[in-house]
Amino acid sequence: MRLFQRSTHPALRGHNSFADAIIYLILVLLTIASVVPIVHVLSVSFSNGNEAAQMGLMLWPKGFTIDSYLFVFKGPALLHAYGVTIFITVVGTTLNLLLTITAAYVLSRSDLPGRGVLTLFVVITMIFSAGIIPGYMLIRNLGLLDSVWAMILPGAVSAFNLILMRNFFEELPVAIIESARIDGASEFRILTQIVIPLSGPAIATIGLFYAVAHWNEFFRGIFYITDSTKWPLQVLLRSVVVMADLNELGMSNRDLYGQLTVNQLTIRAATVMAAVVPIAALYPFLQRYFVKGIVLGAEKG
């Protein structure tokens, strides 16, 4: 979905260079304001520590060096947290899609007796959540504290994404599904051989919704994981970047002695950038599919 495909009207409309200049100025300022923190910290992460510590806003590295990144990846902690996050993203998203696709297909079938009740069963979980403490108690009783599964299983079905997926499926032509049923195909076959192949973009969109949520998983890590060797990336980031606790990288502030080019500031900058880069690399896909998702969600309500 390209938002600017049908953009005929501005070209037809009155043109005023002064108004245009103001408009461009506002747009440039807004855009810069939203991304300048990222550019600044990126510049700091590639800078010489002593110089960066003296600087104001930076749009370019000062005394270019990659030492901060070498330092950050020297210890095992960051790579380990990457591993945990990649695991919960891959396994979690797979489980999410399996459960969401099957249930959404069922709810999309208008000829299903009891469809309204089943939909309500799903929607209730979206309106009212038991909250933090009952959720914690469940995980504790299941013996999942300090297990990566505590970050995968509780969110395995998102009611919101399920309803969104159902809306996608409801757009599919009913006649194809009908004729397959008359030919005696099982529901499982209809789902895997007709519905799923026809829904590639929808599945990609919702898969990315889930994947980004897993990549950014934070609270379940804070709530359920106390063993820092099992922390996901975001929890480690909070310790290192926000709390400035370099011990969590598997090294102490003592390791900074004798470092000429690296200091606490550039290390925090490099750590946070290590989490931005994968999102930035995937961003072209994310943006394309997410726009599709948000537009469809908006149209269907």
Partner 1 sequence: MKVDAIPAIQSRQTRRAYGAISIWLRRAWKQRQLYLLFLPAAIFLIVFAYIPYTGLVMAFQDFSPRRGIFGSPWVGLEHFQYLFGRAGFFQILLNTVLISLYKLVFGMPIPIIFALLLNEIRWIAFRRVSQTLASFPHFLSWVVYGGLMVIFLAPGGAFANTLSALNLQDPRLLSTPATFRSVLVVTEILKEFGWSAIIYLAAITAIDPTLYEAAMVDGANRWQQMRHITLPAIRGVIVILFILHLGRILDAGFEQVFVMYNPSVYSVAEIIDTYVYRIGLVSGRFSLGTAVGVFKGVIGVILILSSNQVLKHLRMPTIW
User: Which residues ranging from 34 to 73 are in contact with partner 1 (CB under 8 A)?
Assistant: 34-35, 37-38, 40-41, 44, 53-58
Q: How far is the CB of 121 from partner 1 (least distance, A)?
A: 7
258 binds partner 1, rule: CB under 8 A: no
Q: Are 152 and 91 in contact (CB under 8 A)?
A: yes
Q: Which of 73, 82, 136, 149 binds partner 1 (CB under 8 A)?
A: 136
145 lines the binding site for partner 1 (CB under 8 A):
no
Tell how far CA 170 is from the center of its chain: 26
Backbone angles phi, psi at 25, to 5 degrees: -60, -50
Looking up tokens 């030492």, which residue turns up? 67
Part of the chain binding partner 1 (CB under 8 A), chosen from 20-28, 61-69, 168-176, 248-256: 20-28
Pairwise CA distance, residues 268 & 256, whole Å: 13
- Which residues inside 223-252 make contact with partner 1, applying CB under 8 A? 223, 234-235, 237-238, 241-242
The binder of partner 1 chosen from 122, 151, 206, 262 (CB under 8 A): 122
> 84 or 159, CB closer to partner 1?
159
| Cβ-defined contacts of 278-284 (< 8 Å, 24+) | 278/215, 279/212, 279/215
Residue 245 CA to chain centroid, in angstroms?
25
- Residue 205: name the closest of 301, 286, 279 by CA: 286
Interatomic CA distance for residues 222 and 226, integer angstroms: 7
Token pair belonging to 92? 């979690």
At its nearest, how many Å lie between partner 1 and the CB of residue 70? 20
Candidates 94, 119, 247, 259: give the one binding partner 1 (CB under 8 A): 119
Q: Which stretch binds partner 1 (CB under 8 A): 63-71, 74-82, 249-257, 278-286?
A: 278-286
Q: Is residue 193 involved in binding partner 1 (CB under 8 A)? A: no
Stretch of 19-27, 72-80, 168-176, 248-256 contacting partner 1, by CB under 8 A: 19-27
Question: How many degrees, rounded to 5, is the angle at CA 175 between CA 172 and CA 180?
Answer: 105
Among 145, 204, 251, 294, binds partner 1 (CB under 8 A): 294
